[in-house]
Each structure stands twice: as C-alpha cells, then as structure tokens.
Amino acid sequence: MAGNSFGTLFRITTWGESHGPGVGVVIDGCPAGLRLSVADIQGELNRRRPGQSAITSPRQEKDRVEILSGIFEGKTTGTPLSLMVRNTDQESSDYDALLTHYRPSHADFTYDAKYGFRDHRGSGRASARETIARVAAGAIAKKLLGKVEILAYVKQIHHLIGKIDPAKVSLKSIEATPVRCPDPVAAQKMIRHIQEIQAHGDSVGGIIECVMRNVPAGLGSPVFDKLEARLAHAMLSLPATKGFEIGSGFGSVLMTGSTHNDPLIKKGGKIITLTNHAGGTVGGISNGMNIIFRVAFKPTATIFKKQKTILKTGKPTSLQMSGRHDPCVVPRAVPIVEAMAALVLADEHLIQKAVRV
C-alpha cells in the first residue's frame, strides 16, 4: 500500500488501523541532539483524543504514546524515531454489517475497487485514528522549529462564522471552549448548533484557519514544490478535507491588482509588507510575514439517519449506522492541522540548510 510516507528530509511513515493493536509513526531525518520527552508529544495527543466533550466521539482512548527508538538520555540520536499509541477501546462489532454494505461517502467501495479487499472495522487505514501518528510526529516538528508559532482554530462551523484576528489569537483563547473557536460568542452558538444537529442524527462541517508566526523568509521552492503547494498537499491528505486556500484565497477574484498587491517597506532593518493578501508566501517562498491559510472539512460521513446504499453485490438496500462518532470533526482536527503545518515547515527548514552556504 503506497502513500504512507510524507516529507523529504524530515520524513514520516505512519502505520496501523483504527481497530488493530495500535497506530504509530516512524520519523526519519530528525537531527541528533534535540531534547525530547514523552511529555512533549503527549500534550498534543491529548488535544486530539476522543471523549473530550459532549460534541466529540465518546470513544474512551487515553492515547498514551510510547517512544520505541531514537532517544538516548533525553535527546534524539539522529536515527529513526519510532512512536506507538495502543488502541484500547475498540468496539469492532459495531461494524459487522459493513462487511457486506458500502457506506455512503466512506472509502468502502473505493478501497475494494483499488485493493479487492479491505478492513471494514472502523474503516481501517481510512479512519481518522491514523492522524494520531501525524500529531505525534508534528509535536517533534514543532520542537525542532523553536520560535516558530503555529496556531490553528475553528473559524466556521456550518453557517456560523467567528470574528477572529489571526495576529492576536492565542492558544489560551483557542482552548477556552471545546469547539476551539477563539470568538467566545460564536463558540457558544457553534456548540449549540452541533448539539442540535447531533440530536437529529446528522452532522456538520466547517473551516479551520491556521496562522504561522515567526517563519523566516526563504522557505519553499519555485515551480512544483511551492510552500503553499506543499501545505495544500499536507492539508488535503487529512481525512474529511475538501478545500484549501491561502491568504486572500478565493476572495482574491473580487479584488484588483492595485488592491491585492502587498506594498513592500523596510522597518527596523527588516523587509515587510504593509498588507498580507499573499498570506505569507510569494513565488512559492515564504516572505517573513505571517502565513495564514484555511482548510475546509466536510460534514462527518457517519450519520445516524437511514440512508440508501448498495451491497457489495450491487443489490440496493438501506443502512442505519450505530457506534461512536463525532457529529463534527472540525474541533478535534485543530491540532492535526497544526501538526501537518509543522511537518511541512520542519522539512523546509532542513532543506533550506542544504540550499546555500
């Protein structure tokens, strides 16, 4: 099964399934001498795990990480880091009917079409539980990046949009509510709306915005490996994602060149722009301004309303799901977006060291 690795110099390979013994990641290319402990990783995993609130899946997993290799006396050795999180609260019987049924908007049919065989328990590799491995690796990438600050937050749930200034948002304001929207008024409306949708057996999606501060100018490459292209690749590789935009994004089509261009000035010995419609990249390379992008997540595919579908034989049937699922995946996806952004920047940081003397 190809497609399980990401990155060039800071490279990760994830493994495991939702209803197998566990999930994990091998990280190759992390420089030696980086101080690292389980606590550095566990804090990020705690933000991602299920069972955090009434608007997330009630599956009870502590998601305790184990470092199996690559650490000696509290520092990375430069050899591959191997991390594992064991699954402890699977209920595979919830998925018995799925051996013969194809769920709407799940990867059941497409996995069969590609491999001729699939693990129907909790979607196997298609499960969002695979993202544990990404968050664990992302925590190490964040540590490697030092002063670079990466903050993702919920900007929109369904039709509800928060009023948020990316330049002022803080981790404290993001984590103040279970929906992870730093606009407290909008956050309460979002929570109520998710609960109402959940009560009807349905689901909703939303938009996560991410700001990356203190990113040095010069990261990224022209042509195929533009920084924004690599970020888009990273974000659209996440489960349930349906869109990516950076800076002014799709809104730029309503602007003219004279209003969209970012004027350059020199201030305090540093070149900056007066506006940031570009979102922190120009020509595929970071320009030193805040990198700001947004990721759209679809409504959770698993809902508790009866739906039309087919059996593997092609015979029409209906299906009503049971089990433990998020009515909205967006709040739990916040640390996952941060992790993938950190993995891209850590890789670009190491690549840049090889570009010039």
**Partners of residue 25 on adjacent β-strands:** 14, 83
Between CA 174 and CA 211 the distance in angstroms is 12
Number of CB atoms found within 10 A of residue 66's CB: 13
264 and 273 Cβ atoms separated by less than 8 Å = yes
Q: Which whole-number Å values give the CA distances from 35 to 73, 259, 348, in the listed order?
A: 9, 46, 20
pLDDT digits (tens, 9 = 90+) for 273-290: 999 999 999 999 999 999
So what's the pLDDT on residue 320? 84
- Burial (CB < 10 A; 0-12, 13-18, 19+), residue 99, is exposed
**Quick one: pLDDT band at residue 60, thresholds 50, 70, 90?**
low
- In this structure, the strands spanning 206-213 and 149-157 are antiparallel
3-state secondary structure of 210: strand
So what's the pLDDT on residue 59? 62
So what's the pLDDT on residue 152? 98
**Quick one: pLDDT band at residue 253, thresholds 50, 70, 90?**
very high
So what's the pLDDT on residue 99? 79
pLDDT over 70 for what percent of the chain? 94
pLDDT digits (tens, 9 = 90+) for 7-46: 999 999 999 988 888 999 999 999 999 999 999 999 999 9
| E-only strand ranges, the chain | 5-6, 11-16, 22-28, 65-69, 71-72, 75-76, 81-86, 101-102, 149-157, 160-161, 206-213, 241-246, 264-267, 270-273, 281-282, 285-286, 291-297, 307-311, 316-319
**Quick one: pLDDT band at residue 58, thresholds 50, 70, 90?**
low
**Across the chain, what does the average pLDDT equal?**
93
pLDDT digits (tens, 9 = 90+) for 299-320: 999 898 899 999 988 999 998 8
Please state the domain extents for the chain. 5-353
Class of domain 5-353: alpha beta
Of the ranges 127-131, 209-213, 317-321, which one carries the lowest mean pLDDT score? 317-321
pLDDT digits (tens, 9 = 90+) for 68-108: 999 999 999 999 999 999 988 766 566 676 778 888 888 88
Between CA 80 and CA 75 the distance in angstroms is 13
pLDDT at 117 over 90: no
Residue 304 one-letter amino acid: F
Which residues have CB under 8 Å from 242's CB, separation 6+?
205, 296, 297, 298
Q: Please compute the mean of the pLDDT values over residues 229-245 and round it to a whole number.
A: 97
So what's the pLDDT on residue 98? 74
- Burial (CB < 10 A; 0-12, 13-18, 19+), residue 303, is buried
Q: Please compute the mean of the pLDDT values over residues 206-231 and round it to a whole number.
A: 97
